[in-house]
Amino acid sequence: MAGKSNPTPPLKVANYIIGDKIGSGGYADVYKAYKTADRKECVAIKAVLRSTLSSGSTDNLITEIRLLKQLNHDHIVQLEDFMCDENYIYIVMEYCSGGDLSHFIKLRHRLSESACQRFLQQLASALKYMREENVSHFDLKPQNILLASRRNPKLKIGDFGLAQLMTESEFSSKVKGSPLYMAPEILLKKQYDAKVDLWSVGVILYECLFGKAPYSSSTMEELIHRIKTDKQIQIPHNTSISSKCRDLLVRCLERDPEKRIGFEEFFNHPFVDLEHKPCPENIDKARALLCQAVEHDEKLNYEEALTLYTESLLYLVPTMHAENDANKRTSLRRSVTQYLSRTEILKKLLSQNGLEIQLPSIPYISSDQTESAESPSINAPSIVMLNSFTVEHHQNVEELLSLASTTATMTGAIDIAKSGELYEREASYSIALEKYELALGKLLSLLSNEPHGRRRDLLLDVIKTWMKQAEQIKGILDTRKREVELLAAAGTDTSQSKQPEKNTFSLADKFGSKVKSESSDKKRESRLERQKSRSRNSSASSIISVLTPISGLASSFQSTKLLTEADYERNCSLQ
């Protein structure tokens, strides 16, 4: 008669009420728990059954506890307590309600470049701190990167079970990590250094951007074969990413560890952009730059003002995204939007004078919806109620991709249009329109030669949908452009400003009937002369009135006094 297996001992953790199981690992289960003193306060408890521990896993557990006690960083899961009884070892950690990055990616299939950059900046900030503490993780993967909340998620590195203290000059030979994310030298050379973490970061970034890891395979044998094959990872060329992003990916995913990017270069890379990460020091820098910008703006030193506004926004936008309080984040978003509007007005004024200034790109401003760790609603609107994609549309796109798998030109164009959807969701409308126009140009060319059949019907359907979206975006951008022109004209000469002519060019003109748009160049010499000769105080107040009063920034950005909606509309309708 077969013996009965011993039942699993019950969990008993003093001062905590054990809730649902939320995860399982190699030698432990993780539970959501509540403090008995305050049942609103949640924690995560990792319960390790002592009878299942080998000597190696015991060493890993001891290392994990020791390192978690040592590390204290905003983007690393915090250890709150640990204890043990005759059956279990308990590790009590902060609870991350947003799940893990792997689930976040799967819900969205892939992330926009701007969302990837924000997450990467957080991850790099934690890695920089870990390097200062000589800690290497050795098991970085989306499943071990948690999201602190469901709204406006913040990344937290967790699971330090394979981590160890290791300087950049030291080497290890023990095989550790998850094959899909581990650097090739761990398997091939049996000797490696701390830079294997940078390979893992590259794989994670690749998966965020393209929806799957570069060595994704259906079997372990296939995966090992791909790792052993001495062939550099190719970054997809049918999707549009910035040169900075592509450069970082290529350098992180260099198979030769000697040629792979080093930690110092990684932390200083322009795509990582740790210089502008959210922190109190950078808020002070932004405040100082804004004060200087407004001062120059009031003196009509537009070139200096534009440069300073742009520099301040490089600090302000990440700060806005990092703010956890929804009301404060909304307040910051309004302020940032107003300063962005002011930069557009100044660009217009300077352009009228024949001045074009090369400025760094300001980070994209995403909607709060984009920052949610909840499953994104197919019909959820973006900031200006544009995202009207139906479930049927998404199904049609996926079916078309399947049918077009042998037509690289078509799949590439579809991927470009899908990236346009991502930027539209983030309210980055200029970039979204650029992607849609590029994709539609390619797809319409293909449509003219496509034979009748299911693939042609699907192609026509998605083209119509993307053209509709692009037309709506163009309407938004045209409206914003007219508002900027009105404000610029008001600042130049309020009494002489005119309503700009309506732009009759549409995407239907460009891609449908091919009707050429009619436009005429307007001479601006007389206006520029009036601008140069007018009194310095004639209309400065009407321009500056669109700005958030700088005095409100003296204590904090959150307490900034904002223009009312009516005030802003009045400024935008100046004749």
CATH of the domain at 86: 3.30.200.20
Model confidence pLDDT, tens digit, residues 461-471: 999 999 988 88
In a shared domain, residues 124 and 89: no
Residue 479 CB contacts under 8 Å (≥ 6 apart), including other chains: none
In a shared domain, residues 355 and 251: no
The answer to whether 33 and 45 have CB atoms below 8 angstroms apart is: yes
Residue that wins the pLDDT comparison between 11 and 205: 205
Task: Write down the pLDDT at residue 524.
Answer: 46
Task: Write down the pLDDT at residue 293.
Answer: 92
DSSP output for 488-508: HHHHHHGGG--PPPP----HH
Q: Which of 89-98, 345-354, 356-365, 505-514 has the lowest mean pLDDT?
A: 505-514
Q: Which of 163-177, 305-319, 373-387, 532-546 has the lowest mean pLDDT?
A: 532-546
Take residue 509 and report the two structure tokens written for it: 């003109």
In a shared domain, residues 167 and 259: yes
pLDDT at 382 over 60: no
For residue 471, the SS3 value is helix
CATH number, domain of 524, equals 1.20.58.80
As annotated, the active-site residues are 139
Query: Which structural domain, as residue segments, surrounds residue 361?
Result: 278-365
Torsion, Cα 485 486 490 492, to 10 degrees, reads 20
Task: Single out the residue in 78, 94, 110 at which a domain terminates.
Answer: 94
Model confidence pLDDT, tens digit, residues 524-562: 444 444 444 443 333 333 333 333 433 333 333 333 333
In a shared domain, residues 132 and 160: yes
Q: Is 258 exposed, middle or buried (0-12, 13-18, 19+ CB in 10 A)?
A: exposed
Does the pTM of the predicted model rise above 0.75? no
Residue 49 CB contacts under 8 Å (≥ 6 apart), including other chains: 8, 9, 27, 28, 87, 88
Q: Rounded to an integer, what distance in angstroms lies between the CA atom of residue 451 and that of residue 124? A: 49
The answer to whether 373 and 151 have CB atoms below 8 angstroms apart is: yes
In a domain, 214, yes or no: yes
Take residue 283 and report the two structure tokens written for it: 């808020």
In a shared domain, residues 526 and 409: yes
Binding-site residue ranges for ATP: 46
Model confidence pLDDT, tens digit, residues 266-278: 999 999 999 999 9
Residue 236 CB contacts under 8 Å (≥ 6 apart), including other chains: 210, 415
DSSP output for 76-130: BPPEEEEEE-SSEEEEEEE--TT-BHHHHHHHHSS--HHHHHHHHHHHHHHHHHH
Question: Strand 145-147 and strand 79-84: pairing?
Answer: unpaired
pLDDT at 185 over 50: yes
In a shared domain, residues 56 and 178: no
Calculate mean pLDDT across residues 133-159: 92
In a domain, 386, yes or no: no
Q: Rounded to an integer, what distance in angstroms lies between the CA atom of residue 463 and that of residue 19? A: 49
Q: Rounded to an integer, what distance in angstroms lies between the CA atom of residue 126 and that of residue 232? A: 28
The answer to whether 123 and 76 have CB atoms below 8 angstroms apart is: no
Band of the pLDDT at 381, cuts 50, 70, 90?
very low
In a domain, 67, yes or no: yes
Band of the pLDDT at 94, cuts 50, 70, 90?
very high
| 3-state secondary structure string across 301-348 | CHHHHHHHHHHHHHHHHHHHHHCCCHHHHHHHHHHHHHHHHHHHHHHH
The answer to whether 132 and 187 have CB atoms below 8 angstroms apart is: no
Residue that wins the pLDDT comparison between 344 and 378: 344
Task: Write down the pLDDT at residue 372.
Answer: 56
Take residue 33 and report the two structure tokens written for it: 């728990």
The answer to whether 186 and 229 have CB atoms below 8 angstroms apart is: no
In a shared domain, residues 88 and 113: no
Taken in order 114, 115, 119, 120, the sign of the CA dihedral is: negative
Calculate mean pLDDT across residues 296-314: 91
In a shared domain, residues 234 and 333: no
Helices (H), 404-453: 408-425, 429-447
Take residue 440 and report the two structure tokens written for it: 């539609």
In a shared domain, residues 518 and 403: yes
In a shared domain, residues 135 and 112: yes
- The domain tally of the chain equals 4
In a domain, 559, yes or no: no
